Chains A and B, each alone.
Chain A
């Protein structure tokens, strides 16, 4: 069974700081998704990465997929309080449609 490990589990930073969170697997991903979940809501998809070495940008968020497709990172530049939430990575490799989620990184950005 594919296991996803996310680190760190918790992160509390000041507004304006940069941060990186990681998602690592014991196996190769065919595709990897990043979701953000705000308090009281369901997770919302941020990005899907498919190709090894791929880099995608979403405003201040930069997503990178490892060359070997076994790891991914999410970098946030100049974090804002609105970035506060739970960040989840998910493996979409299964051909049944099942997504396997990591435990998540809880990010708190203080004003």
Chain B
């Protein structure tokens, strides 16, 4: 089954404690991205990757890091989380063409206290 998986689904942490949210896709897609979704602000892209070892900033990259060492995996790293990073996070993947379908993961609900 074609899917994007991300873990954990829920995470409560404290300010400053480094965390990683994993993301994996089984469709051999070149393009992967991370979004955060906040009430009234919609889906905002954090980082994206067009292929292995190729990553770039999205619209709201501050406070986040990513890596793309393998095509299937695209982890999101918060080196020093802060309360304003409390949000719902989605990983997504698609073929790198304009009309192709984007597959989203189930989401990670992060709370930073």
Contact = CB atoms under 8 A, between A and B. Distances in A.
Contacts of A90: 102
Q: Which of A30, A35, A43, A45 has the most CB of B within 10 A?
A: A43
Band of interface residues on A: 20 to 34
Given A96-B50, A97-B50, A42 B106 contact: yes
Interface in B1-28: 4
Interface in B56-113: 58, 90, 92, 94-102, 104-107
B48 A97 contact: yes
Contact of B94 (A30, A42, A97): A97
Given A88-B43, A97-B31, A101-B43, A31 B101 contact: no
Contacts of A99: 94, 102
B47 to A, nearest CB: 11
Interface in B31-52: 31, 33, 40-43, 45, 48, 50
B40 to A, nearest CB: 8
Interface in A80-111: 88, 90, 92-99, 101-104
A94 B98 contact: yes
B67 to A, nearest CB: 18
Q: Which of A30, A90, A99 has the most CB of B within 10 A?
A: A99
A95 B101 contact: no
Interface of A: 30-31, 33, 35, 40-45, 48, 50, 88, 90, 92-99, 101-104
Given A33-B101, A97-B50, 12 more contacts: A42-B92, A45-B101, A48-B99, A94-B98, A96-B50, A96-B96, A97-B30, A97-B31, A98-B33, A101-B43, A103-B40, A103-B42
